[in-house]
Amino acid sequence: MGKGKLAKFADMAEYPHVFEYPCSVVDEVNFEMKGNWKRDFFKNDNPIVLELGCGRGEYTVGLARRYPEKNFIGVDIKGARMWTGATDALNEGLKNVAFLRTNIEIIDRFFAAGEVDEIWLTFSDPQMKKATKRLTSTYFMNRYRKFLVPDGLVHLKTDSNFMFTYTKYMIEENQLPVEFMTDDLYHSGMDDEILSIRTYYEQQWLDRGLNIKYICFHLPQEGELVEPDVEIELDSYRSYDRQKRSSLTTSK
């Protein structure tokens, strides 16, 4: 029988590689690791890669196994899910992986300017009703700019046609440089050892016959970012009987 939530939370509180700040967006946070992740935790000067919305942490841990010359931090608010990856990393003795439990809306409070090299967004909720909640919206891009190196990489891996299409429009509207883009990853010739790491949720989508989509793009520091003013079709398997089109106008 697996551990219950309370037991998992107790474990997480004792894990040396887990930092928990489950505060609301209105709380002020004084985070001592901001600007000091490499010196005080990882004890090296290797690049830092974030997975935002890491869920069970499969991608964070999988990347850390493959790339010991990089540091990986999984971020999510769901501590009971994160426990799986955090426990695997601890049991395997991985020194290049950490987890941060907090709201992604305040992610810029935990990293200093230029402290992060890459961001991974793996199977994020497409948030079809409100653009500012999407992790590839300009709302979040402006936050990422606060700590991402100039022209740092952002990776999106998703089952959602809505999220993929919205992100394409956002990239095009702002003329962001694209490294690679495909709406069918596993038939693109690009399914290398990084991209072939499959999360729990990804396997569910694959089992349902859904294509996995992938975009890798650069995020420059300069220029004002503009939300795309377009309409796209909702994901029918997520929206069910709701209206099939949605405006992407950002709420004020």
Which helix (H) or strand (E) segment holds residue 82: the answer is helix 79-92
Contact 187, 210 (CB under 8 A): no
d(CA 88, CA 19): 16
Length of the chain: 252
d(CA 104, CA 144): 10
Complete DSSP assignment for 153-171: EEEEEES-HHHHHHHHHHH
d(CA 252, CA 234): 22
Contact 208, 145 (CB under 8 A): no
Active site residue 125: yes
* Selected catalytic residue, list 27, 125, 151, 229: 125
Contact 48, 117 (CB under 8 A): yes
d(CA 104, CA 120): 13
The number of CA neighbours under 13 Å toward the Cβ of 185 is 28
d(CA 106, CA 173): 25
* Number of CB atoms found within 10 A of residue 5's CB: 11
Catalytically active residues are 125
